[in-house]
Amino acid sequence: MARSWLDYKTDAWVQWCPGCGNFGILNALHRALAELDIDPSNLVVVTGIGCSGRSCYYIKGNTIHVLHGRAIPTATGIKIANPELTVIAEGGDGDMLGIGVEHFVSIGRRNLDITVIVHDNAVYGLTKGQAGPTLPSWWQTKALPGPNLHDNLNPLLLALASGYTFIARGYAYHVKETKELIKKAIEHKGTSLVQILQPCPTYNNIMTKDWYEERIYYLDQEDPNWDPQVASIDDFKNKMGTILEKMLEWGDKIPLGVFYVNLAKDTFEQRLEKVIPTYREYPPAKRPVSANGKPLVDPWILFADKVVKP
């Protein structure tokens, strides 16, 4: 009865380079969807432009390939229009944290229940290897004519500052672990981020498989009592220090896992329901718009505030 990960595969040729970390991410996502048994008809995947953005063609579901940087606002419209859909927004580091950082930040103010997956290879893959927003300064990957002059963004801290209520980091070649992170992110009610460290063997000749694998470790393996959940003011006081420290750790050691979960905030859907009582049952995508082709309202009643009665 339950679905297999193969039920989420399409028959399109997956056009990534051999050894690309995207394969692992795709596989993890397929498996996460299967284990959560999400009906492909109810699944939405929105992707931006980039190598990673091609993912939408490899996932069976309601998919849409939009503009560079605009997966999140598109996903926002979809989720608000039909809150019953499971909505994932996916893109590269350039897509989400470069041109799309406007929306990456702003979605945090909504806590809309969507999952943001960042394929982080620290380069602009599809445009042939320019520096991505997560590439540290002075590093010069293969295709750059000179060293990168920009500092790297910390997506986890940025997500925290923006209001995300679930923040995790995975590693592309660890399919099993990444799958678990994605599952948790999807199950989380609210805006969730999964940053996935993704080797790009073609252009990122610094942050390679080896480079990552010498550095990464899992928070909950290092500390079996690791509990990222912040549910109370006390939790906040007690845990934020460590959580921030872990978020800021980047160098010889790179932590993976769930960094932060906050269940105290209403989702945007819940907020909408408070101001629009009929929202849950009749959200914008599932609402009648006419009665047999005739309008639903009489403006002379609805807009009585504009009518001057003699």
Ligand X SMILES: Cc1ncc(C[n+]2csc(CCOP(=O)(O)OP(=O)(O)O)c2C)c(N)n1
Q: Which residues bind ligand SF4 (CB under 6 A)?
A: 16-17, 20, 22, 51, 121, 125, 200-203
Closest by Cα among 235, 190, 244, 179 to 27: 179
Closer residue to other proteins (CB): 31 or 60: 60
51 binds ligand X (CB under 6 A): yes
Q: Choose from ligand SF4, ligand X, its own copies, none: what does 17 bind? Cβ within 5-8 Å by kind.
A: ligand SF4
63 binds Mg ion (CB under 5 A): no
Per-residue burial over 243-279, b if 16 or more Cβ lie within 10 Å, else e, is beebbebeeeebbbbbbbbbeebebbbbebbeeeeeb
Q: Which of 132, 155, 199, 228 binds ligand X (CB under 6 A)?
A: 132
Tell me how far CA of residue 234 lies from CA of 190, 231, 275, 277, in angstroms.
21, 8, 31, 34
Q: Rounded to whole angstroms, how far apart are CA atoms 185 and 192? A: 6
The stretch among 28-36, 45-53, 105-113, 279-287 that binds ligand X (CB under 6 A) is 45-53
The stretch among 180-188, 206-214, 233-241, 290-298 that binds other proteins (CB under 8 A) is 290-298
Site for other proteins in 71-100 (CB under 8 A): 73-82, 84-85, 94, 98-99
Place of tokens 């790297």: 152
Closer residue to ligand X (CB): 193 or 219: 193
Q: Choose from ligand SF4, its own copies, other proteins, none: what does 160 bind? Cβ within 5-8 Å by kind.
A: its own copies
Closest by Cα among 71, 9, 10, 27 to 46: 71
CA-based torsion, 127, 131, 134, 135: positive or negative = positive
Site for other proteins in 122-141 (CB under 8 A): 124-128, 130-131, 133
68 binds other proteins (CB under 8 A): yes
Closest by Cα among 73, 273, 288 to 191: 73
- Site residues for ligand X per CB under 6 A: 49-52, 68, 91-95, 119, 121, 123-127, 132
